[in-house]
Structure 1
Amino acid sequence: MEDVSLLLLLFSVFGGYLLGIISGLLPGIHNNNFALALVAFAPVLAEKGLSPFYIAVIILSNAVAQTFHDIIPSVFLGAPDGDTALTVLPGHRLLLDGAGAEAVRLSALGSAGSVVASLVFVLPFSLFFKTVYPYLEEHMALILILIVFLMLASEKGEKDEDSKEKSSLAKYKYKAFALVLFLITGVLGLFAFARESLMVPVVNFGEPSVLLPLLSGLFGASQLITSLLTSSKIPEESVSALKLSRKRILRGILTGSAAGSLVAWLPGLSSAIAALLTGLVAKIDFDRIYLKKKNSEPELGMLRTSLYSDPYASNPSTLESSKEFLISNSGVNTSNAIFGLVAFVVIGRTRSGAMVAVEDILGTNTLDLPILLLFFAAMVLTALFSYFSTVWIGNNAHLLLKKVDYSKLCAGVLIGLAVMVFLFTGLFGFFIFVISTPIGMLASFMNVRKSHAMGVILLPVILYFL
Structure 2
Amino acid sequence: MLKWVLLGILFGTVTGITPALHVNTLASIVETLLTSPGGFSYVMLLYSMGLTHTFLDAFPSTFFGIPEEETAVSILPAHKLALHGQGLEVINISLKASLLAVVFAIPLAFPYVVLAEHYTSAFGKVAVFVLAFLLIITEKGVKRIYALLIFLISGIFGLVVDRLPLKEPYFHVFVGLFGVSAIVFSLKNNQKIEIGNADIQMSKRRFLKFSFIGTCFGMLASLLPTFTSSQAALLGSFFSKDERTFLTIAFSVNTSNFVFSLVNFYATGKTRNGILVLIKDLYYPLSSKELIILLLVTIITSSIINLYGLSLSTIIGKAISKIDYTKLNLGILLFIATASLYFDGILGLGVLLTAATIGISTSILKVKRTTCMGVLMLKIMITNNS
Indicate the residue corresponding to 1:250 in structure 2: 208
CA distance in 2, matches of 1:179, 1:232: 34
* Equivalent residue in structure 2 for 1:346, among 251, 254, 267: 267
1:452 aligns with 2:371: yes
CA distance in 1, matches of 2:163, 2:254: 27
* Equivalent residue in structure 2 for 1:107, among 75, 94, 98: 94
TM alignment of 1:202-217, pairs within 5 A: 208-217=167-176
1:143 aligns with 2:134: no
Indicate the residue corresponding to 1:85 in structure 2: 72
SS of corresponding position for 1:396: helix
Residue 138 to residue 241, structure 1, CA distance change in 2 (3 Å): closer
Indicate the residue corresponding to 1:428 in structure 2: 347
CA distance in 1, matches of 2:87, 2:352: 27
One-letter identity of the residue aligned with 2:126? L
1:415 aligns with 2:334: yes
One-letter identity of the residue aligned with 1:178? A
Indicate the residue corresponding to 2:143 in structure 1: 174
1:10 aligns with 2:2: yes
Indicate the residue corresponding to 2:252 in structure 1: 331
* 1:97-137 residue CA offsets vs partner (Å, 9 max, x unmatched): 11111111111111111010110211222223323x1xx31
TM alignment of 1:120-131, pairs within 5 A: 120-131=107-118
Q: TM-score, normalised by structure 2?
A: 0.95
SS of corresponding position for 2:36: helix
* 1:362-384 residue CA offsets vs partner (Å, 9 max, x unmatched): 122xx222211111111221111
One-letter identity of the residue aligned with 2:28? L
* Equivalent residue in structure 2 for 1:437, among 356, 359, 362: 356
* Equivalent residue in structure 2 for 1:376, among 273, 295, 298: 295
CA distance in 2, matches of 1:237, 1:211: 29
Q: Residues 195 and 314 of structure 2 are in contact (CA less than 8 Å); yes or no, is this contact kept in structure 1?
A: no
CA distance in 2, matches of 1:358, 1:253: 28
CA distance in 1, matches of 2:358, 2:308: 35
CA distance in 2, matches of 1:362, 1:93: 42
SS of corresponding position for 1:45: coil
TM alignment of 1:182-201, pairs within 5 A: 182-195=151-164, 197=165, 199=166
For structure 2, the residue ranges without an aligned partner over 5 or more in a row are: none
* Equivalent residue in structure 2 for 1:218, among 162, 177, 193: 177
Q: Residues 189 and 457 of structure 1 are in contact (CA less than 8 Å); yes or no, is this contact kept in structure 2?
A: yes
Give identity over the alignment, percent.
28
The 4+ residue runs of structure 1 with deviation greater than 4 A are 38-42
* Equivalent residue in structure 2 for 1:36, among 24, 28, 39: 28
Q: Residues 39 and 361 of structure 1 are in contact (CA less than 8 Å); yes or no, is this contact kept in structure 2?
A: no
CA distance in 1, matches of 2:384, 2:333: 36
CA distance in 1, matches of 2:244, 2:194: 21
Q: CA deviation at 1:39?
A: 4.2
Q: CA deviation at 1:409?
A: 0.3
* Equivalent residue in structure 2 for 1:359, among 275, 280, 296: 280
Residue 375 to residue 242, structure 1, CA distance change in 2 (3 Å): same
Q: Residues 39 and 360 of structure 1 are in contact (CA less than 8 Å); yes or no, is this contact kept in structure 2?
A: no
CA distance in 2, matches of 1:45, 1:212: 29
Q: CA deviation at 1:236?
A: 4.2
One-letter identity of the residue aligned with 2:147? A
Residue 277 to residue 232, structure 1, CA distance change in 2 (3 Å): farther
* Equivalent residue in structure 1 for 2:16, among 17, 24, 42: 24
One-letter identity of the residue aligned with 1:191? V
CA distance in 1, matches of 2:195, 2:9: 29
CA distance in 1, matches of 2:221, 2:317: 34
Q: How many residues align?
A: 385
Q: CA RMSD in A?
A: 1.8
SS of corresponding position for 1:83: helix
SS of corresponding position for 2:271: coil
Q: Residues 82 and 194 of structure 2 are in contact (CA less than 8 Å); yes or no, is this contact kept in structure 1?
A: no
* 1:200-256 residue CA offsets vs partner (Å, 9 max, x unmatched): xxxxxxxx2311100011111111111113x25235451221111223211221111
SS of corresponding position for 2:69: coil
One-letter identity of the residue aligned with 2:256? S
Q: CA deviation at 1:456?
A: 0.8
CA distance in 2, matches of 1:240, 1:458: 35
CA distance in 1, matches of 2:222, 2:274: 12
CA distance in 2, matches of 1:363, 1:129: 17
Q: Which has the higher helix share?
A: 2
Q: TM-score, normalised by structure 1?
A: 0.79
1:265 aligns with 2:249: no
Residue 143 to residue 399, structure 1, CA distance change in 2 (3 Å): closer
